[in-house]
Structure 1
Amino acid sequence: MPRLPETTESPNRPRPRPSTDSGPDSGTRTHARRASLVLAGTLLALVLAVVASVMFGVRVIGVTDALASLQGHADTAAQAAAYVRVPRTILAVLVGASLAVAGTVFQGVTRNPLADPGIFGVLAGASLAVVTGITFFGLARPFSTMAVAIVGSFLAATFVYAVGSLGRGGATPLKLALAGAATAAAISSLVSAIVLPRADVMDTFRFWQIGSVGGAQWPHLAAAAPLLLLGAGIAAYCAHGLNALALGDSLASGLGFHAARTRLLATIGAVILCGCATALAGPIAFIGLIVPHLMRVLVGTDHRVLLPACALGGAVVLTVADTVGRLIARPEELAVGILMPFLGAPLFIWIIRRTKIRELA
């Protein structure tokens, strides 16, 4: 009688248990750990950027005096000098976070990787509204200026989307980008036509139109805080809807989301953030374009994580850019509105190459 082949494994030997680190759940946990590490690292980078912004400028201040000024102390000359930089630093954090979140929302709403408040003409619309209001209506109060900027941003966004939707195929990413670029150029020319004949307005807004956080004032920050919180809250509320919109309007409706309502509400939140940021610091481009792309590579496409990551990343980028602008041109300073294009333009070219522009048409 033939013998059965012997097994290489003893029946009494305990079989190895299946690894708990395999399967789809382990991938989800790994991604969650990575996102948590990125958020923690970006938050630490923001803390360091804030301290560096208070320390460095025309006069270099020690770490002890910088930390004391952040706590509200101004007992020595160094602490007093650092205390003056605190509102500027806070403004850089708020504006950078607002523009980055707004850019993320615009990219999610339009499903367009090239969407950006500057490219879509939203910043230019806010600038035109502010310049028009101050030139012809004498607006001077911070809250009224921000309200006018929000209205201008919304009108510009609506106009660009309407123009980009014309023709066959509707609002394709390439058509929206071209419509936004043309609208921004036309609005910039109109702003120049309004400002140039008025010497008083030209002197007042020449520095503001470049884009800078150097004119930060506590009353302006206090007036902007409720509006910025409102815009950020609306964007956070729409995070689930933005995830659904990424699947397409039909699938989003099947998941229980009203695509048009979600798109409108998210756009309102982004417009509020853009309008307030532009009223506070002037039109600063590329933050809303480059930060979402960089953070999307690090934390993924889930807007529940992407939005706070972009807020932290935008705050870091603008705060660091403002600090660098003060260091490379001492004793003068280089405004962030001038410095950001040097960083944003190469990354913009990389984004276009990465998204294969031919497939966007």
Structure 2
Amino acid sequence: MNATVPGTVTVPFLDLAADNAVLRDDLDLAWKSVTGHGRFVGGPEVAAFETAFAGFCGTRHALGVGNGTDALEIILRSLGIGRGDEVIVPANSFVATVEAVCTAGARPRFVDVLPDTLLLDPDQVAAAVGPRTAAVIAVHLFGQMADMPALEAITRAHGLALVEDAAQAHGAEFAGRRAGSVGVAAAFSFYPGKNLGALGDGGAVVTDDTGLAARMRCLADHGRSDTDRHRHPLRGVNSRLDTLQAAILLAKLPALDAATAHRRAAMTLYRDLLPACCTPVVQRPEAASVHHLAVVQVDDRAAVTARLDAHGVGWGVHYPVPCHRQPAFAEFADGPLPVTEAAAGRILSLPMYATIAAETVGIVCAVLAGGGAVLSGARP
């Protein structure tokens, strides 16, 4: 949400206008190029972005698709995962992770997360593997990768597919490996609020597996043959990254590492200035987070958010209702998941975006500390 109180500073939770203004000339040029040549679907910018994004992730292949949810479903279906299979997923995730599993025809198997990072707990994953388990989806939540070496060891031991949900982790690393380059395939979202955001919906899948890449490309294009566009060997879907969005993303990609560095500096400042009542989510020493979100845990979220509202500071909660407690997926809940359930009532996302100023971080922390009376004035 974004609260505004007359006479106080307004601090947005997310400022996409400011982030995009930095690249205004490049974005305008992308728009003019695509509207000029008129190839709005399958234009040259799509292939150019796919090549650039694969290079960014350190993978051989990338395929632009309609959105991040489609990306996950296309991966699962291309791996042959469906009815009768189980897919292990963390309950602490956006519902899209679970939606994709269900749409592919498989059953989600919810497991708990680690209390410090709120990411997938490898011990819980190992305990949840059963005879029907076909895959594990590692969700890189808030911008930090899950413990991929531990998850790799589990999936290799049991012959399971390890899939990365990297929707919030563009450019994140764990033990020197980038998000998207570890599992058999990875799904990315380019929803406008993501670190690499389009001006509308968009997504991508990346992989090193050439055969899998071909199946995913076929499936995403109505199951169409790559040699005869009138033949459809698969029952596919229509999930394409529009040329305009690809052009926008291609313009933004070269600036992403610098934007990530700014987010990291902002999060470091948050950690230095946050009062004792706010406990930031831990970053593992092996991890290089891209800080898609600045998440803390607080004991009395209602009181803290009321204070933020009173001083015009935006905030969010990601996510207040865990997936296994959502009505749509309650049938798959095998029992309580205490870490996820406890965190759902305590997590709070603070303002974070690529152009956030140090002054703004200071204002947020001052308000959280109980100050804010002298914070009236112009918007930072």
Bin for the TM-score computed over the shorter chain? under 0.3
TM-score w.r.t. the length of structure 2 is 0.26
Greater helix share, 1 or 2?
1
Say which structure is richer in strand.
2
